[in-house]
Amino acid sequence: MKRFGFLSWALLFGYAFLYVPIALLIVFSFNESRLVTVWSGFSTKWYAELLHNDALLDAAFLSFQVAAVSATLSVLLGTCAGLALTRFGRFRGRTLFGGMITAPLVMPEVITGLSLLLLFVAMEQWLGWPDGRGVTTITIAHTTFTMSYVAVVIQSRLAGMDGSLEEAAMDLGARPAKVFFVITLPLIAPALVAGWLLAFTLSLDDVVVASFVSGPGSTTLPMVIFSSVKFGISPQINALATLMVLVVATGIFVASIVMARQERQRKRDEQMAIQNG
Amino acid sequence: MAGQPIRKPTRLEPWQDAGQTPYVRIEKVTKTFGDFVAVDEVSLSIYRNEFFALLGGSGSGKTTLLRMLAGFEQPTEGKIYIDGVDMAGIPPYERPVNMMFQSYALFPHMTVEQNVAFGLKQDGVAKAEIRDRVAEMLAMVQLSAFGKRRPHQLSGGQRQRVALARSLVKRPKLLLLDEPLGALDKKLRERTQFELVNIQEKLGVTFIVVTHDQEEAMTMSSRIAVMNHGVIAQVGTPTEIYEYPHNRFVAEFIGSINMFDGRVVSTEGDQVLVASEEAGCELLIAHATPAPAGSPVSVAIRPEKIALSKEPLAGGDGRNQTTGIVREIAYLGDVSIYLVQLPTGKTVRVTAPNVTRRTEMPITWEDEVTLTWRPFAGVVLTQ
Amino acid sequence: MRAVLSVLVSGLSRIGLWGRGVVVAIPYLWLLLFFMVPFLIVFGISFSESIIAQPPYSSLVEWLTDEDAGTSKLQILLNISNYFRLGGDDLYILAYLNSLRIAAVTTLMCLAIGYPMAYAIAKADPARRGPLMMLVILPFWTSFLIRIYAWIGILKGNGVISNLLEWVGITSGPVEILYSDWAVYIGMTYCYLPFMVLPLYSTLEKMDPSLLEAAADLGSRPFKSFLSITLPLSLPGIIAGSLLVFIPAVGEFVTPELLGGPDTLMIGRVLWNEFFANRDWPVASAVAIALLLVLVIPIMIFQHVQGKQAEAGR
C-alpha cells in the first residue's frame, strides 16, 4: 500500500507523539542556559555537573544493585510460576495462584507500596525482621511486582512452544526435572533474558513503591529524580535522560542486529535443506 | 490404490493362534475428559511383530488411545498391559515403549546425532556404544552424512527419518507412531510406507500406527482396528475389513460402497435372499450371516464387484441384476467410475477398468445399462 | 563446574513428580506472604486509630487483664470512623469520581491514538512489523519519570508549546497548559500508550486477511468492512488494552502529582498525602481498601480475559 493514507499519518503522528518529547529532552541537555525552553548555545556542562553529583550517583548505584538482584529473583520465581500455570494442568489452588500472578499487573502502585510497607512494619514488630527499611525491603517489593511480568513473558513463550518436545524427551526416558533443564530451559532462554531485562527496567523505573518501602540512607535514583523534578526543571536531569536513552537505544539496536543476523542464517539453512532434501 | 508390499508367503497370524499371548492387552479402557468420552470401553489384543493400525477420523479416539499406551494419559477406567505388566501409574519414561510424534518433535537445539543419542544417554549407556548405535541407526535410515546438522537444516522427509531413528535406537519392543506419513507428499509417502514395513520386519518390532488415511492402513498393516467415536467398529486384516465389513460404518468408511436397504425374504444355510425396493430386484447373497425373515437389512456391494453391460442379461432369475441409466462417468485413466441411476431414483456407483481406450468406450452417458453381480459379492449388514 | 551442575541436575531429577509441588510452592508461598498477607494487614489497619507512636496506628487486639476482678478478656476494637470519613467528606468521593473520569478519558485517548497505530503496523509488510513495533516499545524502556519530566518543559508557560503558539501568532502571551487536567491527560496517555498498542496489535495481527477480502468481494466498502468485521473481531484486544490502561490509571500518582494542578484530585495523591503528609496510616489504608473495592470488578474482568487468552493459546 504505497498510498500515504490516513493510517500512515496516524502512525506518523503516534511516533511523533512518542518521540518528540524525548528528542526535546536530548536537545536541551546540550543547552547553554538553564532554561529548558530557549536555546542559547551548545554546552556539555550539564553532563560534567551530572558526573559530579554524588547524591545522584550514589542513588544510581543503589538502584542498579536493587534492580539486578530483584530481576534475578524475579526471573527465578516468575519462571516457576509460568511453568506451573502452563504445564501443570489443574492443581489445587490454581485459581488463587493465577489471580495472585495477574493482579500485580494492573494493581495501582500506591496500593502495592502501602500494603508492602505495612507488612514490613508488622513483620518488624512481630519477628524483628526486616530490621528497618532499606535495600532489602525495596528488593523484596520490586521482586514481588515484577515477578508477574516475567511470568507472563514465560507463559507466552511456553504456550508457543511445541509441547510434544517435552513429551518426546519423557518418552525417551528422561525424568521431568531432566526434561526441564535439558530441553525446556534452552528453548525458553530468550524469554528468560527478555524477562530479566523487563524486570530490571521496571525496578529501575519505580518511584512510588520505593518511596513507601525505603528507609533512611536508601534513596533510589527515581526517588532523587522525582524530588528534583518536583522543584522544577534541572538540565542535569536532561543529561541523565539523554544518557539513559542512549544506552537503551544502543542495546535495542545491537539486539535487533543480532536477531536479524540469526534470522538470515536460519533462512539460509532452510533453503539449503530444501535443495538437498 | 497402492499395491501391497511383498510379504513373506507364509504369514503368521498370531491372532488366530489360541496359544499365543498378546504383547499388548487393552482391557475395557475408557477415557473421559470431563463430560466428553474420548475412548469408550475399548478392548484390544495386539501380538508381537504385528504392524497394527488404529484407523479413524478425527474425534474417533485413536490418538487418545495411543497416548494412553505411551503413558501421557491415564485411563479413567480399565487396564493396559504391556508384556504382561500392568501400566497403571507408570510414567512414560519408565515404559518399554517409544513413540514417533506427528510433528516429529526433534529437539531444535541439538544436532541429528545428539537427537538420536538422547534416549541412550538417559539410560546411561557408555559413550562408545552410543556412538556405534547412533551410527548404525543413521545408516539404516540413510542419513549418515547428516549427523552434525540441526533439524531446521533438514527437509521434511529427512526430519521424519531422524524421528524414526531416534525412536528405534533404544530397540523398543513396541513402537507407537502418530500419523507418521501425514506431513509427507504423495511420492515420499509411498516410498516411506515400504521402508517402514521393511524396517519393522527387519528389526522385529511391534508397530502400532495411528492414521486417518485408509490407504496407508490397508497398505502397511497386518491388522486394522477401525475406530468411531471412541469405540472399535471392527478389528481385522485389511482383507477382512474391506471384503467383510461388520457394520455400516466400516463399510462406508473404507473405500466406496453401495448400500441397498431391504428385507430378508428367506434364509437357506448361509444363503440369504433379500428383497430390495431400492435396487428394484432381489439380492441373493452367499456366505452371509443368517438373519430372520422379515428383518430389515442393508446389502453392501463394492463398486468394483458390479459388472456393467449394455446388453441385457439373457436368462437368469432376475436376482442380483438391475437396470439403470448412466448419468456420470469419471475417467481416472486406469479405471472409470460410472454413476448409474436406477428407475427407483437410487444412484449406484460402479468401477470398471478401462480395458479399451477412452475413444473406443462402448458405454457412454445416458446409455441404458444392466448391472449384475455375483452372489458372494455382497455383504448383509444388520447394523 | 559441569560436574557440580550434573550432580545437581541428577539429584533434582530424582525428585520426579514431587518436584512439581516444589516448583509451585516457591512462588506460591512468596506471593501469599508478600501479596496476600499485606492486603489483609491493610484491611486490618483500616479499622484502627491513628495515634502518636511508632508505628502510628493503634492495635486492634488487646488482652485486658483485671487482676482485682480476676478476669482476662480479649478486646477487639474495630474503628469504622475511617470509612465514615471517606463517605462523609466530599474530598474523598470527589477524588474517586475524578480518578475514574481521568482514567476513562486517558483510556479513550489511548484508544484513539493507539488503535490506528496498531492497525497500521498489523497491516504493514511483515518484514517491517518487527522494527515498527520495536519503535513503539522503545520509549517504554526509558524511564517514564524522565518522560513525564519532558512534558513539564513542553507544557509550561514559556515552555515549548507556549513559545510555539506565541511565535506563530495564535496567542499573545505565555500559555500555561501545565498544572491542569489536560496536562494530566496528555502525560498519562503518553505513558500508557504502549500498554494499549501491544494487546491491540497482537489481536489485529492474528486476524485472517482473507476475511476482509471476502467482504470486499461481496460488495462491502472498506470502511464498512472495518466497522462490521475488523472492529468486532478486535474486541478482545480492545478490552485487554483498555483494562491494562484503565485500572492502574485510576490509582496513578506520579503523573497527576507532577503535571496536575492543586485541584487535580486523584485518589492516588489523596492516599499519598494521607500517608506521608498527614501520617494517618489508618485513613490511608481505608482509602486503599475503598479503591480496591472500586477496582475489584475491572480486575476480575481482566483476570477472566487473561485466563481465556491463556486457554486459547494452549
DSSP reduced 3-state for A234: coil
Contact A270 B152 (CB under 8 A): yes
Query: pLDDT tens for residues A262-273?
Result: 888 888 888 877
Both B209 and B264 in one domain: the answer is no
Q: Look up the domain containing B186 and give its range.
A: 24-96+172-248
**What is the distance between the alpha carbons of residues A74 and A151, in angstroms, rounded to a whole number?**
9
Nearest Cα residue to B235 out of B22, B59, B227, B243: B227
Mean pLDDT value across residues B171-182 = 92
Contact B92 A171 (CB under 8 A): yes
pLDDT band for position A2 (cuts 50, 70, 90)? very low
Residue B266 has pLDDT above 80, yes or no: yes
In a domain, B111, yes or no: no
What are B117's three cell numbers? 543419542
In a domain, B363, yes or no: yes
**CATH assignment of the domain containing B305:** 2.40.50.140
Contact A78 C27 (CB under 8 A): yes
Both B229 and B366 in one domain: the answer is no
User: How far, CA to CA in Å, does B363 sit from each of A62, B357, B358, B366, B371?
Assistant: 94, 12, 10, 9, 13
Residue A1 has pLDDT above 50, yes or no: no
**What is the distance between the alpha carbons of residues A133 and B382, in angstroms, rounded to a whole number?**
83
B194, B5 in Cβ contact below 8 A?
yes
Chains that touch A (3 or more CB pairs under 8 A): B, C
What are C59's three cell numbers? 492495635
Question: With contacts defined as CB-CB under 8 Å, which chain A residues touch B156?
Answer: 277
Both B232 and B265 in one domain: the answer is no
Last residue of a domain, one of B248, B281, B304: B248
Chains that touch C (3 or more CB pairs under 8 A): A
Nearest Cα residue to B1 out of B304, B251, B232: B304
Q: What's the number of CA atoms in the CB half-sphere (13 Å) around residue B66?
A: 29
What are A101's three cell numbers? 500472578
The CA distance from A189 to the nearest CA of chain B, in Å, is 11
One DSSP character per residue, B267-328 reads EETTEEEEEETTTTEEEEESSPPP--TT-EEEEEE-GGGEEEESSPPPS--SBTEEEEEEEE
pLDDT band for position B11 (cuts 50, 70, 90)? low
User: How far, CA to CA in Å, does C67 sit from each of C59, C60, C63?
Assistant: 22, 22, 12
**Average of per-residue pLDDT values in chain B:** 88
Q: What is the structure's pLDDT at A244? A: 86
In a domain, B198, yes or no: yes
Q: How buried is B244 (Cβ within 10 angstroms: 0-12 exposed, 13-18 middle, 19+ buried)?
A: middle
Q: What is the structure's pLDDT at C17? A: 52
Residue A112 has pLDDT above 90, yes or no: yes
In a domain, C14, yes or no: no
- With cell 448412466, the residue in question is B326
**What is the distance between the alpha carbons of residues C260 and C266, in angstroms, rounded to a whole number?**
9
Last residue of a domain, one of B217, B248, B279: B248
Contact A252 C138 (CB under 8 A): yes
Rounded (to 5) percent helix, strand, coil in chain B: 25, 35, 40
Question: With contacts defined as CB-CB under 8 Å, which chain B residues touch A186?
Answer: 109
Q: How buried is B148 (Cβ within 10 angstroms: 0-12 exposed, 13-18 middle, 19+ buried)?
A: exposed
Q: What is the structure's pLDDT at B1? A: 43
Contact A207 C150 (CB under 8 A): no
Query: pLDDT tens for residues A141-179?
Result: 999 999 999 999 999 899 888 889 999 999 999 998 899
Mean pLDDT value across residues B40-53 = 93
A54-233, CATH topology level: MetI-like fold (1.10.3720)
Residue B119 at interface with chain A, using a CB cutoff of 8 Å = yes
Contact C285 A114 (CB under 8 A): yes
Question: With contacts defined as CB-CB under 8 Å, which chain A residues touch C240?
Answer: none
Q: Which of A170, A183, A276 sits opposite B93 (nearest CB)?
A: A170
Q: Which of residues 151-180 of B touch A (CB under 8 A)?
A: 152-158, 166-167, 170
Contact C146 A25 (CB under 8 A): yes
Q: Please give the residue of chain A at the shortest CA–CA distance from C23.
A: A80
Strand residues in chain C grouped as ranges (E): 61-66, 71-76
Domain coordinates in residue numbering, chain A: 21-52, 54-233
Both B239 and B90 in one domain: the answer is yes
Both B182 and B293 in one domain: the answer is no
Question: With contacts defined as CB-CB under 8 Å, which chain C residues touch A37?
Answer: 153, 156, 158-160, 162-163
Query: pLDDT tens for residues A76-93?
Result: 999 999 999 988 878 888
In a domain, C203, yes or no: yes
Buried b (16+ CB within 10 A) or exposed e, B107-133: beebbbbbbbbbbbbbeebeeeebeeb
**What is the distance between the alpha carbons of residues C295 and A106, in angstroms, rounded to a whole number?**
10
Q: What is the structure's pLDDT at C138? A: 85
Q: Which of A7, A21, A156 sits opposite C150 (nearest CB)?
A: A21
Last residue of a domain, one of B248, B272, B293: B248
DSSP state of B21: P
C183, C155 in Cβ contact below 8 A?
yes
Query: Chain A: which residues have CB within 8 Å of chain B?
Result: 162, 164-165, 167-175, 178, 183, 186-187, 266, 269-270, 272-274, 276-277
Nearest Cα residue to A13 out of B11, C112, C218, B332: C112
Question: With contacts defined as CB-CB under 8 Å, which chain B residues touch A171?
Answer: 70-71, 92-93, 97-99, 167
Both B324 and B376 in one domain: the answer is yes
To 10 degrees, the CA torsion angle through C6, C7, C10, C11? Answer: -150
Q: Look up the domain containing C95 and give its range.
A: 86-313
What are A65's three cell numbers? 544493585
Both B280 and B354 in one domain: the answer is yes
Both B241 and B261 in one domain: the answer is no
B200, B167 in Cβ contact below 8 A?
no
In a domain, C197, yes or no: yes
Residue C123 at interface with chain A, using a CB cutoff of 8 Å = yes
Contact B155 A183 (CB under 8 A): no
Both C99 and C41 in one domain: the answer is no
In a domain, B118, yes or no: no
Nearest Cα residue to B106 out of A168, C244, C82: A168
Q: What is the structure's pLDDT at C10? A: 60
- With cell 560534567, the residue in question is A48
Residue B55 has pLDDT above 90, yes or no: yes
Both B374 and B275 in one domain: the answer is yes
Please state the domain count of chain C: 2
CB atoms within 10 A of CB A98: 18
Question: With contacts defined as CB-CB under 8 Å, which chain A residues touch B90?
Answer: none
**What is the distance between the alpha carbons of residues B351 and B365, in angstroms, rounded to a whole number?**
15
In a domain, C280, yes or no: yes
Contact A187 B108 (CB under 8 A): yes
Both C175 and C299 in one domain: the answer is yes
Residue C139 at interface with chain A, using a CB cutoff of 8 Å = yes
Both C105 and C212 in one domain: the answer is yes
User: Dihedral sign, CA of A198, A201, A204, A207?
Assistant: negative
Q: Please give the residue of chain C at the shortest CA–CA distance from A27.
A: C150
Q: What is the structure's pLDDT at B12? A: 64
**What is the distance between the alpha carbons of residues B176 and B228, in angstroms, rounded to a whole number?**
20
In a domain, C17, yes or no: no
Residue B182 has pLDDT above 80, yes or no: yes
How would you write the pLDDT of chain C (314 residues) with one tens digit per residue?
A: 666 766 666 665 555 556 788 889 999 999 999 999 999 999 988 888 888 777 778 888 788 888 888 888 888 888 888 888 888 888 888 899 999 999 999 999 999 999 999 998 988 888 888 888 888 888 888 888 888 888 888 888 777 787 777 778 777 777 778 888 889 999 999 999 999 999 999 888 888 888 888 888 888 888 888 888 888 888 988 999 999 999 999 999 999 999 988 888 899 999 999 899 888 888 899 999 989 888 888 888 888 887 777 666 43
Q: Which of C15, C41, C295 sits opposite A115 (nearest CB)?
A: C41
In a domain, B152, yes or no: no
C117, C128, C155, C267, best to mutate vs chain A, most A CBs in 10 Å: C117
Q: What is the structure's pLDDT at A56? A: 86
Residue type, A154: I
In a domain, B65, yes or no: yes
Q: What percent of chain A has pLDDT over 70?
A: 96
Both C48 and C128 in one domain: the answer is no
Both C152 and C232 in one domain: the answer is yes
Contact C23 A93 (CB under 8 A): no
Both B308 and B351 in one domain: the answer is yes
Please state the domain count of chain B: 2
One DSSP character per residue, C46-110 reads TTS-B-SSSSSB--SEEEEEETTTTEEEEEE----HHHHHHHH-HHHHHHHHHHHHHHHHHHHHH
Residue C53's Cα: distance from chain center in Å? 33
To 10 degrees, the CA torsion angle through A152, A155, A160, A163? Answer: 180
In a domain, B323, yes or no: yes
A131, A218 in Cβ contact below 8 A?
no
DSSP state of C228: I
In a domain, C19, yes or no: no
Question: With contacts defined as CB-CB under 8 Å, which chain A residues touch B118?
Answer: 169, 172, 174
Residue C176 at interface with chain A, using a CB cutoff of 8 Å = no
Query: pLDDT tens for residues C189-244?
Result: 999 999 999 999 988 888 888 888 888 888 888 888 888 888 888 898 899 999 99
**CATH assignment of the domain containing B70:** 3.40.50.300
Residue type, A18: L
Nearest Cα residue to C294 out of C98, C106, C107: C98
Q: What is the structure's pLDDT at C5? A: 64
Which phi and psi angles does C63 have, rounded to 5°? -90, 125
Contact A164 B102 (CB under 8 A): yes
Last residue of a domain, one of C63, C79, C95: C79
Q: What is the structure's pLDDT at B168? A: 93
What are B295's three cell numbers? 428383518
A185, A151 in Cβ contact below 8 A?
no
**What is the distance between the alpha carbons of residues B131 and B114, in angstroms, rounded to a whole number?**
10
Contact B101 A269 (CB under 8 A): no
A147, C27 in Cβ contact below 8 A?
yes
DSSP state of B364: -
In a domain, B101, yes or no: no
Both B367 and B227 in one domain: the answer is no
**What is the distance between the alpha carbons of residues B101 and B178, in angstroms, rounded to a whole number?**
5
Question: With contacts defined as CB-CB under 8 Å, which chain C residues touch A23?
Answer: none
Question: With contacts defined as CB-CB under 8 Å, which chain C residues touch A115?
Answer: 38-39, 41-42, 288
**What is the distance between the alpha carbons of residues B24 and B173, in angstroms, rounded to a whole number?**
11
Contact A115 C27 (CB under 8 A): no
Q: Please give the residue of chain A at the shortest CA–CA distance from B166.
A: A172
Question: With contacts defined as CB-CB under 8 Å, which chain C residues touch A213?
Answer: none
Lowest mean pLDDT among B166-175, B246-255, C62-71: C62-71
Query: pLDDT tens for residues B64-101?
Result: 999 999 999 999 999 999 999 999 989 999 999 999 99
Q: Please give the residue of chain B at the shortest CA–CA distance from A163.
A: B105
Contact B70 A171 (CB under 8 A): yes
A161, A165, A172, best to mutate vs chain B, most B CBs in 10 Å: A172
Last residue of a domain, one of C46, C79, C112: C79
Contact A170 B108 (CB under 8 A): no
Q: What is the structure's pLDDT at B359? A: 65
Residue B202 at interface with chain A, using a CB cutoff of 8 Å = no
Query: pLDDT tens for residues A224-236?
Result: 999 888 876 678 8
Both C197 and C140 in one domain: the answer is yes
The CA distance from A277 to the nearest CA of chain C, in Å, is 27
**CATH assignment of the domain containing C113:** 1.10.3720.10
